């Protein structure tokens, strides 16, 4: 599991990178729920510059917000 510090929010988010076939996925946890997303085609966390991790972190935050919004809308 990788810990990626955010320079914007000064917080740390634990993420897991997993390759399935030719696609890398990023997994995280929020409120005891696992959130995951496929990384953009061609992106490899082993060779990606740290600045792009911030883009990934923002993407994961947007997924969290979308998940929360969907949960509230379904209730």
> Which residue in 7, 3, 48 sits closest to 28, CA to CA?
3
* 28 vs 57: CA distance, rounded Å: 10
Main-chain phi, psi angles of 29, to 5 degrees? -125, 140
Q: What is the pLDDT of residue 52?
A: 60
49: DSSP letter: -
All structural domains of the chain with their residue ranges: 2-74
Global model pTM greater than 0.85: no
* 26 vs 57: CA distance, rounded Å: 10
Q: pLDDT tens-digit profile of 1-51?
A: 555 554 555 566 788 889 999 999 988 887 888 888 888 888 888 887 656
């Amino acid at each position: 599991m990788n810990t990626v510090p955010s320079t914007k929010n000064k917080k740390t988010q634990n993420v897991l990178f997993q390759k399935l076939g030719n696609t890398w996925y990023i997994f995280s946890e929020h409120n005891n729920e696992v959130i995951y997303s496929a990384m953009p085609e061609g992106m490899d966390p082993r060779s990606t510059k740290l600045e792009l991790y911030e883009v990934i972190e923002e993407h994961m935050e947007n997924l969290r917000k979308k998940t929360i919004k969907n949960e509230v809308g379904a209730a």
